[in-house]
Amino acid sequence: MQTQLLLRRLGAGVMLSVLSTLIHGKQPTDYPHLRENRAASAKLEVRKVLHGQVDGMFVVPRTQQLVAAAGGYLWKFSPQGELLDTLREPENLFTSGMAFTPSHYIDWVFTGQARPKTYGPAVDGNTLSRAEVLAALQKAEVVEFGKDDNAAWAYLWTAGRAWKMDLARHREAVDTWCKQRTHSAEALRWDATCFDGLDKAPRAWSEVEPESFAKTGNGERSPRRVEVAGFERHKYHLEGGLTGQVYGFAVDAPLRAIFGLSGSLPQRYWVGDALTRLRVGDEVVQFKMFAPHEQGDEYSWSHLRWWEPARQMPGASPWFSVHKETEELLKFYEKDIGLYVVRPRGTGVPAGAQGQAVPAWRPVFAGPATGRVAVSGTVEFANAAPTHVWLRSPAERKRTPDMPTVVPVDALWPALRQLPQALTVQWRAPAADDSEPLAVLRITLDPAEMKAAFERLPAAKTPLELVVQVPTLHSPAQDVQVLLRSGTTQTVLAQARAGQAMPTPLGQTRVAYTVAPPTPPTPKPARSNEPYVPPAHLPLLQSLQDQAEKAQRDPAKQLQPLLAQAATLAQHPQHAQALAPGVTAVVADLLNRFNVGGKLDASATLVRHYLAQVHPHTSRWTGDSSLAYNQGVIASQTLAFAIHSAPNRDLVDGVMRTLIGPSFDPAKQTNGTLMYNLACYYAVSGDTPKMLQSASAARRLGKPASQFLTDTDFEKYWKDLEFLATLNAQP
C-alpha cells in the first residue's frame, strides 16, 4: 500500500514536470543568469573570477591580499577580486601558508617570490629551557615543526627570512598532527604542526570561514540576505531515482523506525532557476541561479557559501562560491560552479584589460605538453600596470566512466586592451620536481611597432593572439618564435635561435632566456636482447606463498612452518630488503583470510609472531609503498578481531605502538578499512578527538555513514552532534 502511495506521488510529480513549461511566465529581463557575469546594481556588480571547486580562502593582512585554494593552485587576489598571481601548490605546504622542506622554503604567499630559498644559520634549541624555546618561537611570524624517530626541529620565518631550530631535546613537545576542524582542512590536507604550550593561532595569514549564503547569521531569526522573486522550473528531481524512492519509502523508513535511527529519506523536489535578489548593505543585486525548490518559499542553498574577508581585512568585498553537490543535477549548474566577488562597479579589473588602445588580444603558449602545470607569465604595458596571465591552462584530468565529474579550475582571464611592451613566460616540464627552477623566457617588444602590427591584422570577433612557440621544454632551446595572429593571418615578430634574437620584420623585438630551461632527462637504456633472468629472491617468496596456501587450509599443522619461514626470510643475509614487501604482503593476505574464515586463534598466533619476529626486521626498509600499506592491513585486521578480545589485548597494544605509532597521519591514509577500525578502537577507548579524526578519514575513503550508525562500538556517539556532523560531511 505504501509503495502504491509513493508511486502515485511520483506520478503526480512526473506529470508536473511535463506541464511545467505551460506555467512558466515570460522571463524577466532584469535577472541575467549568474553565468552571464553581468549582474549588477547601481553601485555593485557580481563577477565570477574563478571557475571550478574552491577549497578555501585566506587573507594576508601584511599585503592586503586574499588567497584562494582551488584546483591544486593558490590564487592571489586584490580585496576587490583582481587576480594578481598564481602558484602551483608546492609540496610540504603547511596550514600557515609556508612550504618548508629540509633543504629550502617557499614564502610566495607573503612575499610573492615563488623560487625556493635556502635557510639562514640554524639555531640550537637544545641549550634552551622549555620557557626559553617558547619565547623564541613566539617572536617569529610563522612557526612549523618536524620530527623523526630521534630528532625534532622548528621552521621559523619572519619578514622574508627563515631558519631552523634544533629541538631534539624537546622532541616530546612536537606534534606533527594537530589539524583544526576548519573548512579547508579536509579538502586541502596541508601539514599542521604544533608545540606543547605554544599558541599556534595564525599570525601571518588567517582562514576565512564560509557562512550561510541565504542568511547574515547562523541563528534561526538571522536576517536573510537572499530573497527569491520567482522560480523557473526545469525538472522534478527524485533523489536516488525511482528505485531509490521505492526502497527508501518501503524498506529504509520501516528499518529506521524499528531501530530508532535518525536520518532523512530520499527527497523529491523541483530544480530550476531562482530569480534571486541578493542584498549587500543598501544595495540589491538581481540574477538568476540554479536552486532546488523544496517546498513553499524554501529553497536549498547548500551548494553555495558566503565569504566575508572584511572581518579580518576591513575594506575587502564580500565573495560567494558555487560548489558541486549532486552529480545527477550537474548539467543544470556546472557552468555556475566557481568563485564570485560582489564589488563596487568598475573595480578589480586589470589595468591591461581597460581602455581601447588596441583590439582585444591574449597571450598564448604553443609548445610541448606541460601536463598538470600551467604556463604562466606577466605582461608589461606601455601605459598600464603589469598583468599576471596564464598562456596555457593545465591539462584536464582524464576520467573513466565510473568516476564522478571533476570540474576543472581556471580563471576567467579578461581580454587585454593595452599595448604590450614585454612578456615574461615561465614553465616547467611535467616530470620536473617543484624545487627545480622554472624556465623563464623574456620577450621585449616595441610599443610603436606592436601598434602597427595590430593595425595590419584584419578585425576578428575573437581576441587576437600573441603566440609564443617553443619547440622544446629543455635546453638547448632553439627556434623560439613570437607571432601576432588573427585567425589564419599572422605576423612573425621574432625568431630566435639558441636564445638570441635574429633579424625580424620588427627589428626592436628581442627574445632571451633569463633562466635557461633544464637539460633533458637521461634517456632510459635500451632493452637488452638477453633472456630475462628473474631476481634471486622471487623463488624464496614463491615458496612462502605456497606455504601460506597450506596454512590457510590447515593452520593446526601448517602455520608453524610458515612462521619459521617468514622469520628466516625477513632476516635473509642477501635479500632481506627485496623480500620485505613480499613477506609483509603474504602475512597481510593470510591474516585477512583467517579472519574471514573465522580462524581467530590462527589470526592471533600469526600477528603475535609477526610483531615479535618479522616486523622488527622488515620495518627497516622504507622504500616500497606497498610495505607500508600492508602493514596498515595487518593493523586493521588485528583491530577487527582483537578489540573486544581480552586475551588478545597485547596484540592491540602492540599494533598501536609499532604499526600505528605517534607519527601516524590520518590525512595521508588510503585504506578506508584501517581508518574505520581505528575509529572503532578510539570509540571503545573513549578517545573522542582521535575517533573523529579517524571517522572523518574513513568517510573520505568511502565508508558509508550507515555503517557507523549500526555498529555498537559507536553507540554512545549516535546522538553526539559533532559525531553526526562528521558523518554527514561531504566525503
Question: Using the 8-state DSSP alphabet, how is residue 457 labeled?
Answer: S
Q: How confident is residue 254, by pLDDT bands cut at 50, 70 and 90?
A: low
Grid cell listed for 20: 511545467
**Among 102-111, 415-424, 654-663, which is the least confidently predicted range?**
654-663
- Averaged pLDDT, 439-447: 91
Whole-angstrom distance, CA of residue 109 vs CA of residue 469: 31
Virtual torsion, Cα 116, 117, 123, 129, nearest 10 deg: -50
Domain residue spans of the chain: 2-49+223-344, 96-201, 351-515, 538-728
Predicted pLDDT of residue 1: 39
In terms of C-beta density within 10 A (0-12 exposed, 13-18 middle, 19 or more buried), how is residue 36 classed?
A: exposed
- Averaged pLDDT, 687-715: 90
**Cis, peptide link before residue 476, omega less than 30° from 0:** yes
Which position has the higher pLDDT, 122 or 521?
A: 122
- Measured from the Cβ of residue 689, the count of other Cβ atoms closer than 10 Å reads 11
**Secondary structure (DSSP) of 238-253:** ETTHHHHHHHIIIIIH
**Cis, peptide link before residue 581, omega less than 30° from 0:** no
Which position has the higher pLDDT, 326 or 12?
A: 326
In single-letter form, the type of residue at position 472 comes to T
- Averaged pLDDT, 81-95: 94
Predicted pLDDT of residue 7: 38
Quick check: 8 pLDDT over 50?
A: no
Predicted pLDDT of residue 14: 39
Q: What are phi and psi of 163, to 5 degrees?
A: -150, 165
Q: Helix 538-553 and helix 555-570: axis angle, to 10°? A: 160
- Least Cα distance to 6 among 254, 235, 291, 234 occurs for 254
Predicted pLDDT of residue 419: 95
Q: Is the distance from CB of 684 to CB of 676 less than 8 angstroms? A: no
Quick check: 658 pLDDT over 70?
A: yes
For 305-362, what is each residue's pLDDT tens digit? 999 999 999 999 999 999 998 888 999 999 999 999 999 999 999 999 999 999 999 9
Beta pairing, strands 439-444 & 510-515: antiparallel
Quick check: 23 pLDDT over 50?
A: no
Predicted pLDDT of residue 179: 67
- Least Cα distance to 40 among 334, 354, 309, 346 occurs for 346
Look-up of cell digits 506555467 = 23
Predicted pLDDT of residue 260: 56
Look-up of cell digits 549568474 = 34
Mean pLDDT of the chain: 86
Predicted pLDDT of residue 199: 86
In single-letter form, the type of residue at position 383 comes to N
SS3 assignment, position 275:
strand
pTM over cut 0.75: no
Q: How confident is residue 264, by pLDDT bands cut at 50, 70 and 90?
A: low
Whether the CA torsion 212, 216, 222, 224 is positive or negative: it is: negative
Q: Which of 276-285, 520-529, 719-728 has the highest mean pLDDT?
A: 276-285
Whole-angstrom distance, CA of residue 339 vs CA of residue 320: 6
Q: How many residues does the chain have?
A: 731
Which position has the higher pLDDT, 401 or 113?
A: 113
Whole-angstrom distance, CA of residue 717 vs CA of residue 702: 20
Q: How confident is residue 3, by pLDDT bands cut at 50, 70 and 90?
A: very low
- Averaged pLDDT, 162-190: 87
Predicted pLDDT of residue 144: 96
Predicted pLDDT of residue 298: 84
Whether the CA torsion 695, 700, 705, 707 is positive or negative: it is: negative
Contact partners, residue 21, CB within 8 Å, separation at least 6: none
SS3 assignment, position 114:
coil
Look-up of cell digits 632551446 = 477
Beta strand extents in 463-560 (DSSP E only): 464-469, 480-486, 489-497, 500-501, 510-515
Classify domain 538-728 at the CATH topology level. Answer: 1.25.40
SS3 assignment, position 462:
coil
For 577-634, what is each residue's pLDDT tens digit? 889 999 999 999 999 889 888 899 999 999 999 999 999 999 888 777 788 888 989 9
- Least Cα distance to 569 among 555, 553, 581, 557 occurs for 581
Whole-angstrom distance, CA of residue 88 vs CA of residue 372: 9
Predicted pLDDT of residue 13: 42
CB environment 170-205: b (16+ within 10 A), e (fewer): beebbbbbebeeebbbbbbbbbbbbbeeeebebebb
Whether the CA torsion 24, 25, 27, 30 is positive or negative: it is: negative
Which position has the higher pLDDT, 662 or 63?
A: 63
Predicted pLDDT of residue 162: 97
Quick check: 292 pLDDT over 50?
A: yes
Q: In whole angstroms, how far apart are CA 728 and each of 329, 563, 671, 706, 725?
A: 20, 44, 20, 10, 5
Quick check: 51 pLDDT over 90?
A: yes
Q: How confident is residue 245, by pLDDT bands cut at 50, 70 and 90?
A: low
Residue 411, beta-bridge partner list: 50
Helix ranges (H only) for 38-175 are: 108-111, 130-138
Quick check: 59 pLDDT over 70?
A: yes
- Measured from the Cβ of residue 552, the count of other Cβ atoms closer than 10 Å reads 18
Quick check: 259 pLDDT over 70?
A: no
Q: Is the distance from CB of 361 to CB of 416 less than 8 angstroms? A: yes
Quick check: 11 pLDDT over 90?
A: no
Share of the chain above pLDDT 90, in %: 56
Predicted pLDDT of residue 728: 81
Quick check: 296 pLDDT over 80?
A: no
Predicted pLDDT of residue 498: 46
Whole-angstrom distance, CA of residue 178 vs CA of residue 168: 19
Q: How confident is residue 261, by pLDDT bands cut at 50, 70 and 90?
A: low
- Least Cα distance to 689 among 650, 646, 668, 720 occurs for 720
Which position has the higher pLDDT, 471 or 433?
A: 471
Look-up of cell digits 575587502 = 316
- Averaged pLDDT, 717-727: 90
Quick check: 411 pLDDT over 60?
A: yes
Q: Is the distance from CB of 562 to CB of 543 less than 8 angstroms? A: no
